[in-house]
Structure 1
Amino acid sequence: MKRLLVALTAALVITSTAAGASLAFSSPVAATEPTTIESCTTINASGEYVLANNITGAQDGCIQITADNVTLDGDGHVLDGEGENYERAIVATDVENVTVHNVSITEWAGEGILFESVTGGEVRESSFEVVDRGAVVSDSSNVTVVDNHIFDVNIVGVELERTNNSHITANLFEEKYIYAGIELSHSHNNLIDQNTVRDIGGNVLNAKESNRNVIVNNTATDTYGGVIMRDSDGNRISENTLSDTDTAVSVRGAKNVISNNTVIGGFTGISVGGSEDTVVKNDVSHTIDFAITVDGTNQTITDNHIRGGGEGISGSGGGVRVEGANQTIANNNITGAVNSVKVQFSNGTIEIVDNNLESFQRGVWVADKERAVCGQKESTNASFVEVHGNAIADDGYHFYGVLNEANGTVNATGNYWGATDGPSSPEDQTVTDPKTGRQANGSGTTVSDGVRFDPFLTTDPTTDDAQSEA
């Protein structure tokens, strides 16, 4: 009898539980409608909000967001400051997880959208027109600015100030801009990728004191300048395409990597100054001045492909211009530059090794230069210049394979001069190796006085197993 009661009780419990579950699943939960906004306001409660109409003739800080977990949908409507010197359209301060999307912001004297002390959030699918600054993110982290159209902006499109671990991606910047499309200031570990910048009067990106950022897969054309970084370390600038800019990439700092970029035209291609930067596997073509310029110390320029360069600077531009100390120019392919490599103001070892230099006026030009820096005279010391293992080819276009105009002797032994019998001397002159006394009477490219060339390679090291003449 007891066993029967237990079984019946268990059956009732199972039946009741199943029924309860069935009732729970059959009860629909009503969806919460977004709160509509029809005029300037302060959002001080979590939730979803939507603009119901355009807001015109607004006020400073038209929409203020002071609560966490807020989504504001502009629904395609316009926040119009009407050019009345109102400073900001939307401001989020001291909050987490805020998203603003699908809003059009026009005619504001300050920031279109300001995120200040925000942790986690998005600005997306919005447009900014006739504002001083489009989207500004300050003292924040983990913010994404994505898929916005930012045009006819006076100063800066997107600005990160003291902001880390954030993402600027897939935005379109065009027209006007006095300063830059993107600006980083004291901002670290950010990703800037897949943006398009075109026809602006400023730079693609300005950065100062900003470290370990990644700038990758962006496209820019017809801008005043490209990616310009100052006092910034450990950044990676890779796989960008920059056309017709004044200077495509300019970096001053330490341990930055500039790699796999495509630079077409413009004035200067890539410029590095500081220490321990690496410029590798870039394709730079037809710059007016130099494709790559290098100063500072311990810089490495390697495996780049340079075509043309220097045509617009009365013969003084070209492939690579290098100064400073402990610099390495290696394994580059430089074709058709007026001067393949120019050395000036050398005050430490400059290694030019294993490069392929073709179709130049001067293959390696050690220029006699002087200047005063902080009251101290600097000049070019040719004795610091080491040129080895290069193919310095003659196609009838050149003036000199190696030209030394500075004090000291260039060590250029172990190079291939475009002929098995070695380098030649200038017309009506006989150059001899300053150490071995061998005459430069071959049929290869020309060397000047003050150049060691013996021994030399008798085969092209870029195509064959190089052999050195005894």
Structure 2
Amino acid sequence: MSDHTVLLVVSVLMSGLVAPGPVNQETGGSTPAEIDSCTTITESGHYALTADILNSTEATCIRIEADDVVLDGAGHTIDGNWSVLRENTGVGDSLFEAFANATEIGTANATVSQWAYHGVFVSESENVTISGLTVRDWVYGIAFFDVTDGNIRGVTTEQTATGVGLFQSTTIRTEAVESTNSTIGVVLDDVSVSSVTNSEINNSVLDGMELFETTGSSIVENTIRNTGRYDGLYLRNSSQNTVRDNDIGSNTLSGIALARGSNSNIVESNLVEQNGLNGILVRDNSVLNTVTNNTLEANAHSGVSVVDGANQNIVQGNVIRNTTGEDPYTAQVNYSAGIVINQSSRNQVTENWVQGNAYSGITLTNEANENFLTGNTILNTTGVEITVPETFRTVSVDHPAAIFIDRSSENVIRETYVRDSELWSYYSTAVASQNIVRNLTVASIRRYNVSTDPTEAAEFSFVEVATVVSFTGRNVALDANVTEGIIEPDWEPSRSAPRVNEVGTSENSTLENMSVRWYLRAVPTELVENTTNRRVRATTTTTTVEGETT
């Protein structure tokens, strides 16, 4: 996955031609001062547009350089001249793409003459409100630089490189913004104690919304959809923010991405669906984040991924359903899952509902060590083959499992319920070691290589697997990195219930307090009298079978 950054050069924002005809109004005037053309506001007061400003050739149309200003757009439009803008930036018809590439690599011709074009630009001011305005055909629709205590509400931005940009500002409230067809809908860069609420961002070229080095801010009740290249909401090096109650979907990569040291954020109660890679991604040494009570539906690679040194995060109480696996990245790494932990440690994954995901319910891979998983429910894990439309080829995954562990150690998995999983309920590769599995309940497993499909049977409960065991299973198998052992129910047409076999366990592999229970299938009368319910306890050396006649 490509990383992406935006670098705003201060001189870009603060430069540009000063619009002619400054307008002044003393604070406290009862009637707003009227504006019908581009201007600079240098005095406190209440100002209102009285007409649309169309095809402006100014570098900045409305510039505000005063405290205590209200600018009421009164439903009017400030429209730039796209032809002039393309000519002045020197990139012709490819202006959006050029701006996208420039911001993506963090440098790229961010010069005064090329990018300093603003519909409204507020700088070094306090208590400024912009409302009721449409801005169109600018590099920056509305930009705040070094502003304290500001409001942007009821604003529409169309065809801008950045719809709304907040830079080096604090306590800015952005509400009911509609951004369409921008390179980036909303940017918060070096911003604190601010909010974006009740806004809609659609069809952005890069990300829907970006937070860079932003702290203590809230992103609440927004809709972000259909980004063209990256994520719906992207946080880089941003901490102690709250992302809540947003509707984020159909974005090219992840719905929400926390990256590059974004720490101690709360991501809660969001609907994140149908994104092209992950629902929520926590990566790049982002730590101590809480991802809770989100609904993650039909994302391609994962519902939640915690990767690349993202340690000590909490993933709790989420509903994660129907991850599809239909993306090129899944074809590359040969797995997808409801929850992925990859090369990250000491995370807590608790009380999640994980249902109907392709390949795996929960995957721990590539030195995902010392993680704690408890109280999770994993249902209907499906999909042995994944067809990736972009490549028109079918990917066969190696070990579909409700829980899959590879090259990862010292994880604790407790109080887990697995039901209706195709093939493996738990699978651990030979290079995964010393994982602790306790109180794992497995029910109604559909399996391929049995002689009779146990449709009416099922209900297995595996409890207290010893800490020294690398536990692998369909429905239970042992792999202690020495020899492979299998304890597996085996159905045959002549049996009314499964028998339990123990094969080849190594000396340091033990199962403790493992119980197996099942329901009886319909069988011939002569077999019923010999049918038992059984409890099995297995060790490395003995197998004890206990039962009662039913």
Tell me the CA shift for residue 411 of structure 1. 11
* Offset, 1:221: 2.4
Q: CA offsets, 1:196-241, max 9 Å, x none? A: 1223324210111000110000012222220011121101100000
Change beyond 3 A, Cα 1:211–1:423: farther
Map residues 248-327 of structure 1 onto 2, 5 A cutoff. Answer: 248-252=279-283, 253-267=286-300, 268-273=302-307, 274-288=310-324, 289-295=336-342, 296-310=344-358, 317-323=359-365, 324-327=368-371
How far does the alpha carbon of each residue in 1:415-448 deviate from its partner, in whole angstroms, 9 at most, with x for none? 999xxx99845xxxx5244349xxxxxxxxxxxx
Question: Per-residue displacement from partner, 1:154-187 (whole Å, max 9, x unpaired)?
Answer: x211110000100000001112x12211100000
Q: Does 1:392 align with 2:464?
A: no
Q: TM-score, normalised by structure 2?
A: 0.67
The aligned residue for residue 416 of structure 2 is 355
Match of 1:330 in 2: 374
Q: Give the AA of the match of 1:258.
A: V
What SS class does the counterpart of residue 216 from structure 2 fall into?
Answer: coil
Q: Which residue does the alignment assign to 1:53?
A: 51
Structure 1 match to 2:36: 38
Matched, 1:434 2:506: yes
> Distance in 2 between the 1:412 and 1:299 partners?
30
| Residues 365 and 404 in structure 1, CA contact (< 8 A), matched pair in contact too | no
C-alpha distance in 1 between matches for 2:489 and 2:159:
59
- Identify the match of residue 163 of structure 1 among 182, 188, 191: 191
- Show CA shifts across 1:18-65 (max 9, x none): xxxxxxxxxxxx962101111111100000001111112321111110
Which ranges of structure 2 fall in alignment gaps of 5 or more residues? 1-27, 86-115, 325-335, 383-400, 450-473, 491-496, 519-534, 538-543, 545-550
Residue of structure 2 in register with 1:180 after alignment:
207
**Contact between 1:226 and 1:248, CA under 8 Å: does it hold in 2?**
yes
When residues 290 and 118 of structure 1 are mapped into structure 2, their CA distance, relative to the original with a 3 A threshold, is same
Q: Please show how residues 154-233 of structure 1 align to structure 2 within 5 Å.
A: 155-175=183-203, 177-201=204-228, 202-224=230-252, 225-230=254-259, 231-233=261-263
**1:125 is matched with which residue?**
154
Q: Does residue 95 of structure 1 match 2:134?
A: no
Distance across 1 between alignment mates of 2:42 and 2:486: 73
User: 1:349/1:423 Cα in 2 relative to 1: closer, same or farther (>3 Å)?
Assistant: farther
Shift of 1:454: 4.1
Tell which structure's C-alpha radius of gyration is larger.
Answer: 1
Asked whether the 8 Å contact 1:385–1:411 carries over to 2, the reply is no
2:166 match: 137
CA distance in structure 2 between the aligned counterparts of 1:35 and 1:178, rounded to whole angstroms: 37
**Which AA in structure 2 matches 1:95?**
S
Q: Tell whether the 8 Å contact from 1:69 to 1:98 is kept in structure 2 after alignment.
A: yes
C-alpha distance 297-34 of structure 1, shift in aligned 2 (>3 A): same
Q: Percent identity?
A: 23
Greater shift in the superposed pair: 34-43 or 317-326? 317-326
Evaluate the alpha carbon distance shift between residue 411 and residue 280 of structure 1 in structure 2; reply closer, same or farther with a 3 A threshold: farther
TM-score by structure 1 length? 0.78
Distance change (3 Å), C-alpha of 1:408 and 1:328:
farther
The 1:389–1:111 alpha-carbon spacing in structure 2 relative to 1, beyond 3 Å, is same
Match of 1:104 among 107, 111, 134: 134
In the alignment, the residues of structure 2 paired with residue 431 and residue 336 of structure 1 have an alpha-carbon distance, to the nearest angstrom, of 28
- Alignment correspondent of 1:15: none
CA contact (8 A) 2:486 2:505 kept: no
The corresponding residue for 2:103 is none
Within the alignment, does 1:72 sit opposite 2:71 as a pair?
A: yes
Task: Give the AA of the match of 1:342.
Answer: F
Look up the match of 1:147. 176
Distance 1:424 1:203 in 2: 49
Name the aligned partner's letter for residue 306 of structure 1: V
Would the alpha carbon gap of residues 219 and 398 (structure 1) be closer, same or farther in structure 2, given more than 3 Å must change?
A: farther
Task: Please give the alpha-carbon distance, in whole angstroms, between the structure 1 residues aligned to 2:47 and 2:356.
Answer: 56
For the structure 1 residues 381 and 410, does the alpha-carbon distance in structure 2 shift closer, same or farther, using more than 3 Å as the test? Answer: farther
Cα deviation 1:295-346 (Å, max 9, x = unaligned) = 3110111100011111xxxxxx211111321111211000111411111121
- How many corresponding residue pairs? 392
Q: Using the alignment, how far apart are the partners of 1:409 and 1:72 within structure 2? A: 75
What is the CA RMSD across the aligned residues, in angstroms? 2.7
Q: Which has the higher strand share?
A: 1
- What secondary structure is seen at the aligned counterpart in 1 of 2:181? strand
Change in 2 beyond 3 A, CA 1:411/1:145: farther
Change (3 A) 1:412 1:138: farther
Aligned-partner SS, 1:117: strand
Decide whether aligned partners of structure 1 residues 285 and 49 sit closer, same or farther in structure 2, where only a CA change above 3 A counts: same
2:403 equivalent in structure 1? 341
What residue is the counterpart of 2:91 in the other structure? Answer: none
Distance 2:291 2:214 in 1: 19
**Aligned-pair distance for 1:403?**
4.8
**Preserved contact between residue 72 and residue 101 of structure 1 (Cα < 8 Å):** yes
What is the deviation of 1:407?
Answer: 2.6
